């Protein structure tokens, strides 16, 4: 277990894993297309390839049945679109780097509400 995973687990224990916002802030990114997302409690922010930044409210968090923390899905809503983010503590590779958390983000109406469905995959770590 690496230092970032240990820090994540310590944060979860301090916050109380049953809380909907128990995860520490996460910094996520993906390639092809390049995108960056931060998940911090009830707020998420996504910067995607066309350099647009979309701010979301996390309106619901659901942990998989029979599990305590992982995997979990978060429902995101913005002014123009909505989506879901699936987060799982699974080792993830991004280029030559290894990350402790895998993320999949789906936006049925597109990232900016442009009706072009988007599925983004990437990796996360505890934000510093």
Q: Are 59 and 65 in contact (CB under 8 A)?
A: no
Question: pLDDT tens, 49-100?
Answer: 777 899 999 999 999 999 988 899 999 999 999 999 999 999 999 999 999 9
Nearest to 68 by CA among 20, 7, 18, 14: 18
Q: List the chain domain ranges.
A: 3-126
Q: Rounded to an integer, what is the distance from CA 28 to the centroid of its chain? A: 6
Q: What confidence score (pLDDT) does residue 6 get?
A: 44
Question: pLDDT tens, 98-126?
Answer: 999 999 999 998 887 777 889 999 999 99
Q: What confidence score (pLDDT) does residue 22 get?
A: 65
48 pLDDT higher than 90: no
**Cα separation, 116 vs 62, whole angstroms:** 26
Q: What confidence score (pLDDT) does residue 90 get?
A: 95
**What average pLDDT score do residues 27-35 get?**
94
Nearest to 28 by CA among 14, 13, 44, 41: 44
């Amino acid at each position: 277990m690496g230092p970032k995973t240990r820090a994540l687990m310590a944060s979860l224990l301090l916050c109380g894993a049953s809380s909907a916002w128990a995860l520490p802030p996460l910094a996520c990114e993906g390639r092809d297309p390049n995108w960056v997302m931060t998940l911090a409690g009830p707020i998420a922010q996504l910067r995607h390839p066309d350099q647009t930044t979309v701010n979301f409210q996390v309106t619901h968090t659901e942990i998989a049945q029979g599990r305590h923390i992982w995997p979990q899905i978060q429902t995101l809503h913005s002014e123009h679109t909505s989506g879901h983010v699936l987060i799982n503590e699974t080792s993830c590779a991004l280029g030559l780097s290894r990350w402790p958390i895998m993320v999949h983000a789906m936006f049925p109406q597109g990232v900016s509400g442009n009706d072009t469905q988007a599925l983004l995959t990437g990796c996360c770590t505890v934000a510093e």
